[in-house]
Structure 1
Amino acid sequence: MHRRTRCLALALTGALLTGGAVTAVAAPSAAAPATAASPALPAPAVTGGLRTGFELSGGAAWTTLEEEQRFLAALDESSERLTVTELTRTAQGRPVQLVTVGATADPAAIARGSSVLFSCTQHGDEPSGREACLSLARDLAATTDPATLDLLRRTTVLLVPTVNPDGVAADTRENSLGLDINRDHLLLETEEGRALAALIRDLRPDVVHDLHEYGPTPGTYDRDLIALWPRNRNVDERVHDLSVVLTEDAVLPAVAATGNSTGIYGYRYDPDGNVYAQRAGDGQERILRNTTGLKHSLGILVEASNAPADALEEQNPALLNQRRVSTQLTAARATLGLVAERRAEIADATAASAARSAAVRTPVAFAGADNELPDPDEVDLAPPCGYRLDAGQAAATADVLALHGLRTEPAGDGGVVVPTAQEGRDLVHLLLDERAQYGLTVGAAVPCA
């Protein structure tokens, strides 16, 4: 669908919302037919019930924080399959809330079963993901669609609609302390990052879908929605490969099938649709999509374009806002559709990844990405079997290690040893080794017996 034609279609159906160089490869087609590994869950017609502030305005205004609180409270009150809980409070006292939709809200049962986590609005000036998560929570709570009901019987859907409420209030990327939450999933210096770490540790989601927005560059970096998987070289192969399937075979085709253009996050495209450079999307372990993979979950970063596609969207910003949200919703439903179809395969891959980390000693890469080889001195082919922390280091790092679910062992004089033979093996190296790029502290290497 031509972009102008697509915008005219949105105008007619707007009531639905109110009620480094790399080798050139073929780009995902903007007009490709749906070739998703599984069908996306259907988009329900909104004909009654609760509305977000965004929906009530026809896309002219974003849902306020106060409207969000009323909306979530009403959802919690009206639905037996949905529960709203508070994860933490920000530096300015605003709540970060978790919406749980499914057959159970018991944390132990969720951790044992299948679950998907949607992380929304880590950056406070990227509102479309937040709107999509609020609408998706309502749609899942109210659905009568048999396929969706079957999904919810087997898989728990977890949504954090507003990870960064202080940033939303100020319309800033960072939180109120000036910290980028999406660069804080390793050292956990933000209260918001700590809350997500505890959530992932306790509920063990099989998939983490992270919603963002970006400002396109016309001609080279200008797609309606772009996405990417965990690129960190230490991510388990099956977890990595299924994350690629989620991105390339499910999410991007589903969005393309709606007439929206798609691409890979960070790739620049020439006029023929070939990749000529990658300028974002590396393997650094402190970004959620990479941390997710290191914690044995499939991961996907999704970014919607925040710029007008044509004159219609320039003249009517509500049309632009509707598209931003609709592409996010389509991507989210595609993720749920893949989980519905390949739940057992995904669960097996994530469980096997965790088991191998605890049982197998493998090389560790301290740099590079899945498409970028690290230098030889950035890879340890025979890494240590643990790190000793003295009493001061142990006290200073105890809470971060615990939030990551990392086990320590007493080592005398108040110190501890952090063994690598545990599920968070790679995180241990990336937090405590002297070669780590974003290390927490430098521990003394414990050789293997």
Structure 2
Amino acid sequence: MTSHKRTLGLTTAVAALAAPLVASAPAQATGTPPRTGFEQTHGARWTSQPEEQRLLAAVDKASARVSVERIGTTKQGRPLQLVRVGARNAATTVLLICSQHGNEPSGREACLTQIRDWAYAKDKATRRFLARTTLLVVPTANPDGRAADTRGNSDGVDINRDHIALRTAEGRAMAAVIRDHEPDVIYDLHEYGATPEYYDKDLFDLWPRNLNTDPRVHDEAETLSQDYVRPAAHAAGHSTGTYGIWTDPVTGEPVKQTAGDGQERILRNMSGIKHALGLLIESRVDPGTPAEEADEPLNNRRRRDSQLAALKGLFRFSGERAGHIDAVTDAARLAGFRDTGPVYVGGADNDPAEPAETIQDPPCGYRLTKGQYAEYKDELALHGITVRPTGDGAYVPLRQSQRALAALFLDARAPYHVTEGTPDTNC
């Protein structure tokens, strides 16, 4: 985000705080709040797509706080939607991505419940928070997969492995939202299957591990996890841990890592590369108690409620640390213009990159042929990568905000590169 845009956002936020509270915060909805299908059945089933559409239409109509827009369409014709709640152009923007995997519905239920609650909230603390913060929600990031109860979309593609190539309508829609709104925090809601004793907490979370994440962004995302999200979950009676790490049931020490690496095609890591505080959150699908084993709706409610509890930590973090969050993400967005330092094509924050995984002296940029540019210009644009068209194709400089992403997209050494640009070392 440009410094001018940030200044406007900060000015808006300051003005909102100086004005009377009723004037600064859009009016809450009136009337009877709509309920999700999940709530109507007390957790016996998940909210259907028609029920979701009715709820979103109702809160959009009833509340000046809420607006709903279509950001894409799935292959099967279902809408991809973005819900905006709270202030416009606030200094801090938080994006929730709900249920990228269609068979992981509890995050979606938490998002729908949260949207409705924001629309109707009357308490002073929530109104003040909404006056200072832009909240964006993609309530169902994989509508076709949710309808079919499948992990992938209607083509069987795992959307959460498409955040660099952008071959899916779902991945493209999310990339456009991130490019256009430059969220400071990207919070990605999922579920997981437990391995009893070693890997069976109510909630796991994880920050960006990709080594191209600005260290300040990385550390602030870890603070979000350790000091806010996990304590909020604990306060509600839920156990927590680090995603992808098995622990010894007796000592609590790490045993092995089974997931949660630094690959850039996953949203958690792409968030960090794009200078946002990314956090993955995973609730346990499996029953954790005999009571949950005997009562499926009870287990379903625990899955949803644990997500809602963690969200309270996210919102407290966003309210208490707004100024610091903005300073960190602003600095990270500007760092690429210095065009210094290595680019990493492997490794993670807990797995140092090997020499072969480090581009120690990156080129000045990459040149694309006419054919390459014609084929990939849309994806480059969706990522917000700066490109200069030339007579024989295009030039992608590395002196830009998306410096690392440009290299990961175009360098042959990057494991998920989309096309192979010609390195330009004539700086």
TM-score normalised by the chain length of structure 1: 0.87
Whole-Å separation in 1 of the counterparts to 2:33 and 2:190: 27
Q: Deviation of residue 333 (structure 1)? A: 1.8
Q: Deviations over 1:159-192 (max 9, x none)?
A: 1110100001100000001110000000100000
Tell me if 1:277 matches 2:252: no
Tell me if 1:236 matches 2:214: yes
Tell me if 1:339 matches 2:323: no
Tell me if 1:446 matches 2:395: no
Amino acid at match of 2:58: A
Say which SS state the counterpart of residue 158 (structure 1) adopts: strand
Whole-Å separation in 2 of the counterparts to 1:278 and 1:377: 22
Q: Deviation of residue 378 (structure 1)? A: 1.3
Say which SS state the counterpart of residue 388 (structure 1) adopts: strand
Aligned partners of 1:54 and 1:63 also within 8 Å: yes
Q: Deviation of residue 360 (structure 1)? A: 3.3
Partner of 1:367: 346
Amino acid at match of 1:248: Q
Gaps of 5+ in 2: 1-30
Paired residues for 1:165-184 under 5 Å: 165-184=143-162
Whole-Å separation in 2 of the counterparts to 1:437 and 1:281: 17
Partner of 2:402: 424
Partner of 1:66: 50
Partner of 1:4: none
Say which SS state the counterpart of residue 58 (structure 1) adopts: coil
Partner of 1:379: 358
Q: Deviation of residue 314 (structure 1)? A: 1.3
Say which SS state the counterpart of residue 406 (structure 1) adopts: coil
Tell me if 1:160 matches 2:138: yes
Q: Deviation of residue 300 (structure 1)? A: 0.1
Partner of 2:273: 294
Partner of 1:80: 64
Partner of 2:388: 409
Aligned partners of 2:339 and 2:398 also within 8 Å: no
Paired residues for 1:108-257 under 5 Å: 109=89, 113-257=91-235
Q: Give the one of 265, 273, 291 matched to 1:312.
A: 291
Q: Deviations over 1:275-318 (max 9, x none)?
A: 12111000000000100001110010000000011211111111
Aligned partners of 1:225 and 1:260 also within 8 Å: yes
Say which SS state the counterpart of residue 118 (structure 2) adopts: helix
Amino acid at match of 1:313: E
Amino acid at match of 1:72: L
Say which SS state the counterpart of residue 321 (structure 2) adopts: helix
Gaps of 5+ in 1: 1-46
Whole-Å separation in 1 of the counterparts to 2:240 and 2:426: 47
Whole-Å separation in 2 of the counterparts to 1:257 and 1:273: 20
Whole-Å separation in 1 of the counterparts to 2:101 and 2:236: 26
Say which SS state the counterpart of residue 211 (structure 1) adopts: strand
Runs of 4+ in structure 1 deviating by more than 4 angstroms, as ranges, are none
Q: Deviation of residue 48 (structure 1)? A: 5.3
Aligned residues: 396
Whole-Å separation in 1 of the counterparts to 2:261 and 2:138: 25
Q: Deviation of residue 147 (structure 1)? A: 1.7
Say which SS state the counterpart of residue 386 (structure 2) adopts: coil
Whole-Å separation in 2 of the counterparts to 1:382 and 1:352: 22
Aligned partners of 1:209 and 1:332 also within 8 Å: no
Aligned partners of 1:184 and 1:193 also within 8 Å: yes
The change in CA–CA distance for 1:446 and 1:71 in structure 2 (over 3 A counts) is same
Aligned partners of 2:33 and 2:116 also within 8 Å: no
Say which SS state the counterpart of residue 166 (structure 2) adopts: coil
Tell me if 1:100 matches 2:78: no
Whole-Å separation in 1 of the counterparts to 2:120 and 2:341: 46
Amino acid at match of 2:149: D
Aligned partners of 2:207 and 2:268 also within 8 Å: yes
Whole-Å separation in 2 of the counterparts to 1:410 and 1:268: 48
Amino acid at match of 2:54: R
Amino acid at match of 1:334: G
Q: Give the one of 85, 91, 95 matched to 2:75.
A: 91
Determine what percentage of the aligned residue pairs are the same residue: 52
Partner of 2:303: 324
